Amino acid sequence: MASFFTDLAPNVIFNSDPTAVIDFMKSHKLLADSCNCTCCTKPMELVARPTTSDGFGWRCTNQRCQKRHTYRTIRTGSFFEKSKVTLNKWLYAIYLWSQESKVNTVVKQVDIGEKTVIQMYQYLRDVCSTKLLNTPIELGGPGVVVQIDESLFNHKSKYNRGRRPKKELWVFGLADTSFKPAITYMELVEKRDAATLLPIIEKAVKPGTIIYSDQWKAYCNIQTELKLQHATVNHSVNFVDPETGVHTQAIELYWAKAKYKFKVMKGVSSDLLPNYLDERMWRDRWGSSKDNTFTNILAHISEQYPV
Ligand SMILES: [Zn+2]
């Protein structure tokens, strides 16, 4: 893929000519490469429409067609269909999202209103959620250690002493330690009891997995009910069990990383938290470098919005 910054960014930012961006989007199957007239079914032609924000549109050139004077937008069926933001700005915003830029950075650098950027970021997180739903993860496997833990995501900060969170947001997480860094699955849970957590473990790990956890009571039947090996560390005594070496540091390190971002965003509402967790998991699986984060989000958009 052409390097975004060297080949395309100058066009995106400074040039009002949208041709380069349209070509780029066509080559990544984000916009249709061709299009047939809905009336006469003959191929339409891509023609300049300087009065529109896209600068181009599809037109039927069949002289005998009743609809030969009507245009069709180049966004039909695409991820961008319902948006009023120019394609140049969209592409640049997607790029900044892939680099984990904050909403405010996009507002300033791309010159889009804050509410619109928040909405655009939400659309991108929806793409992440759909991708995860379509490709469920299976952690562990024979002899592989998966660490599990629950974590409170809206614990009161030291600056808000005495103000208890309206509703506690507990996230249950599983980290496969055979990957470095560990690959993790997270889910917002209503309760932290065995009836809630054990089915999640069963869903997320392969048979033969070894589970490491602390001594939370919900975990005590993992071995009998799920037929998985299970070892614990008593956190009130040690962080690493001195005899067995059992610890849950990978998942705890992961909590710190995941929560740092939410803290920067000054907290996330309970409605949106699952979506943000999805974004985190998506980045862990498909965003191992800045380049492939951008390439993969474009690929997943085009998968979900076939043109
Ligand atoms: Zn036609």
As a whole number, mean pLDDT of residues 99-115 equals 93
Confidence of residue 161 (pLDDT cuts 50, 70, 90): low
State the alpha helices, DSSP H only, in the chain: 9-14, 19-27, 87-98, 103-106, 114-134, 194-204, 222-226, 249-264, 273-286, 290-304
Top-confidence residue, 95 or 181: 95
- Cα of 63 vs centre of ligand 1, distance in Å, is 8
Q: Compute the distance between CA of residue 259 and CA of residue 79 in angstroms, rounded to an integer.
A: 30
Per-chain mean pLDDT for the chain: 88
pLDDT at 243: 76
The arithmetic mean of pLDDT across residues 207-214, rounded, is 94
Per-residue pLDDT of 2-47, as tens digits, reads 566 666 666 666 666 788 889 999 999 999 999 999 999 999 999 9
Q: How far is the CA of 67 from the centre of ligand 1 (A)?
A: 5
CA distance 185 to 139: 8
CA of 257 to the centre of ligand 1 (A): 55
Check pLDDT > 60 for residue 1. no
Distance 302 CA to ligand 1 centre (A): 26
* C-beta neighbour count of 131 within 10 angstroms: 21
pLDDT value of position 235: 73
Query: Does residue 238 surpass a pLDDT of 90?
Result: no
Residue 43 CA to ligand 1 center (angstroms) comes to 8
77: CA distance to ligand 1 center in Å? 18
| Ligand 1 geometric centre to CA of 30 (Å) | 24
> Is the pLDDT at 155 greater than 80, yes or no?
no
Angle between helix 290-304 and 87-98 (nearest 10): 130
Distance 144 CA to ligand 1 centre (A): 60
Residues 6+ apart with CB under 8 A from 255: 149, 151, 173
Q: Taking 60 as the threshold, does the pLDDT of residue 159 lie above it?
A: no
Distance 196 CA to ligand 1 centre (A): 57
What separation in Å is there between the alpha carbon of 301 and the centre of ligand 1?
Answer: 29
pLDDT of residue 59: 95
pLDDT at residue 258, rounded to an integer: 83
CATH 3.30.420.10 fits 145-270, yes or no: yes
- 37 C-alpha to ligand 1 centroid (Å): 5
CB atoms within 10 A of CB 304: 13
Range among 161-170, 226-235, 237-246 rated most confident: 226-235
> Could you tell me which residue, 40 or 291, shows the higher pLDDT?
40
Check residue 11 and give its pLDDT.
Answer: 64
Spacing, Cα 33 to ligand 1 middle (Å): 17
Q: Spell out which residues have Cβ within 5 A of ligand 1, the ion.
A: 37, 39-40, 60, 62, 65, 67
Q: Convert the pLDDT of each residue in 45-70 to its tens digit.
A: 999 998 888 999 999 999 999 998 88
Closest CA to 184 of 132, 238, 122: 132
Higher pLDDT, 120 or 20: 120
Cα–Cα dist 157/232, whole Å: 29
CA of 66 to the centre of ligand 1 (A): 7
Report the percent of the chain where pLDDT is more than 90: 65
- How many angstroms does the Cα of residue 52 sit away from the middle of ligand 1? 21
Determine the distance separating the centroid of ligand 1 and the alpha carbon of 16, expressed in angstroms.
30
Q: Which residues of 254-281 are buried (b: 16+ CB within 10 A; e: fewer)?
A: bbeebbeebeeeeebeeeebbbbbbbbb
Instruction: Encode pLDDT of 137-149 as tens digits.
Output: 899 999 999 999 9
Q: What is the pLDDT of residue 190?
A: 93
DSSP-derived 3-state class of residue 258: helix
Q: 42 alpha carbon to ligand 1 midpoint, in Å? A: 6
Task: For residues 98-105, give the mean pLDDT.
Answer: 93
Q: What is the mean pLDDT of residues 98-124?
A: 94
Domain assignments of the chain as residue spans, ordered by start: 145-270
